[in-house]
Amino acid sequence: MDIEDRIFELLGERLLPYELLDRVVAEYGVQRSVAAETTRKVIGERGTPNLAIARRHIERLRHMRV
């Protein structure tokens, strides 16, 4: 699995920031600074899984007619 995809998945687990970074460092063997930078990139580009769900629901509500 790509590191960015894995970070996005871990964001959905609602880990504390240091726990998320520890897992990425352990799984991919990258430096903590690289893990933090990549995490910021993922959040900036994709948001979080919960935010993605909220966006989908907002979009569905936008298309509803009452």
Domains in the chain, number: 1
Structural domain span for residue 18 = 3-62
pLDDT recorded at residue 1: 85
What average pLDDT does this structure show over 41-65?
91
State the Cα–Cα distance between residues 60 and 18, nearest whole angstrom: 35
What φ, ψ does residue 63 adopt, rounded to 5°?
A: -90, -5
pLDDT recorded at residue 64: 86
Question: In a 10 Å sphere around its CB, with 0-12 CB exposed, 13-18 middle and 19+ buried, how is residue 39 labelled?
Answer: buried
Q: What is the pTM of this model?
A: 0.80
Indicate if the pLDDT at residue 66 is higher than 80. Answer: no
The pLDDT tens digits of the residues spanning 3-52 come to: 999 999 999 998 999 999 999 999 999 999 999 999 999 999 999 998 88
State the Cα–Cα distance between residues 33 and 14, nearest whole angstrom: 20
pLDDT recorded at residue 43: 94
Name 19's Cβ contacts closer than 8 Å, sequence gap at least 6: none
